[in-house]
Amino acid sequence: MTKLLGISGSLRRASFNTGLLTAAKAVAPGGVEFDTATLHGIPLYDGDVEAESGVPAPVEALKQQIIAADGVVLFTPEYNNSVPGVFKNAIDWLSRPPADIRKVFGGRPFALAGASPGNFGTILSQNAWLSVMRTLGAELWSGKRLMVLRAAPLFDGQGQLTDEETRERLRAFVQAFADYVAAVKAH
């Protein structure tokens, strides 16, 4: 059994990226357990809070989900041509304390996917994640990236993916990443 975790980088209820994450779970192939996570409840990173209280419970919970996963997919929005602050903040928390970086990120396969109402999908956001993930020692899957552009008509008012062509692209993406993660796990 290959265990994947998808994390949505948006807090919005009808988020395209949360909808894409939900659809990914639904199209995951047999032999793949696909869990999901959100960033709700993660406070802004503050070194004073960390020093006084340690890592907050929602961050610890997300860390444990990542550690339990064989591979992770970041479903990233694109804000102002880069990564969303709320998502980067969560990753910053996940890298605390520094001794945890290796067990959370080190050598773990990560993939990037995203949906955007714009014409470029989330290419700039995904590119911005590359240096962050490399710095943390994650194993970035270079097989595919999924960028859903002009997403508004592809989702309903509740953020659910309704476009079958996009669903098939997502199915192929999840299958290919799951195959890659299984191969890494076997070595």
Domain ranges of the chain: 2-186
Decide if 68 contacts 3 (C-beta within 8 A): yes
Coil, helix or strand for 155? strand
Calpha distance 114→103 (Å, rounded): 25
Q: What is the pLDDT along the chain (187 residues), one digit of tens a residue?
A: 999 999 999 999 999 999 999 999 999 999 999 999 999 999 999 999 999 999 999 999 999 999 999 999 999 999 999 999 999 999 999 999 999 999 999 999 999 999 999 999 999 999 999 999 999 999 999 888 899 999 999 999 999 999 999 999 999 999 999 999 999 998 8
Spatial distance between the Cα atoms of 130 and 148, rounded to a whole number of angstroms? 18
Q: What is the CATH number of domain 2-186?
A: 3.40.50.360
Q: Is the CA virtual torsion 166, 80, 43, 91 positive or negative?
A: positive
Backbone φ and ψ for 120, nearest 5 degrees, come out as -115, 15
The phi and psi torsions of 41 (rounded to 5 degrees) equal: 90, -5
Distance CA 127, CA 101 (A): 21
What global pTM score does this model have? Answer: 0.96
Helix (H, G, I), strand (E, B) or coil at 119: coil
